[in-house]
Amino acid sequence: MKKVSNQYKKSAQKNMYTFNEKCYAALRKVPKGKVTTYKLLAKALKSRAFRAVGNAMKRNPYMPKVPCHRVVKSDGSLGGYAGGTAKKRALLKSEGISFRGDKIENLSQHLYKF
């Protein structure tokens, strides 16, 4: 047993905003110099929608409020960014993140724990 269907979990529509809002809220807790992955972010939200998270970022209405550039893939690769991966890498590097090509070095070392 392992694939329980949590298709509902807590469908928004009552007091809960969209899944996106939660993503932004959690992401905002990430301090400078730290990063997180889509998977961990989704996990923090008690969901497995790491995809929906990324989707939310792309459609994020809170662009300047949320540090979308601090979210990377579980592999340590940059993933995507509205301004381009190159820009994302530059921002993270500027915050003290080490890079190896297009991937983060010692990802676990920079990962932020919720």
Partner DNA sequence: CGGTTGACCAAGT
Partner DNA sequence: GACTTGGCCAACC
Residues that bind DNA (CB under 7 A): 3, 5-7, 9, 12, 18-20, 37-39, 47-52, 54-60, 68-69, 71, 73-75, 79-82
Catalytic residue among 35, 68, 92, 107: 68
Give 31 or 82: the residue with its C-beta nearer to DNA.
82
Give 3 or 113: the residue with its C-beta nearer to DNA.
3
Smallest gap, in angstroms, from Cβ of residue 17 to DNA? Answer: 8
Smallest gap, in angstroms, from Cβ of residue 34 to DNA? Answer: 16
Give 33 or 49: the residue with its C-beta nearer to DNA.
49
Contact 56/20 with Cβ under 8 angstroms? yes
Smallest gap, in angstroms, from Cβ of residue 38 to DNA? Answer: 4
Known catalytic residue at 68: yes
Instruction: From residue 65, give the alpha-carbon distance in Å to each of 28, 86, 108.
Output: 8, 20, 25
- List, by residue number, the catalytic residues: 68
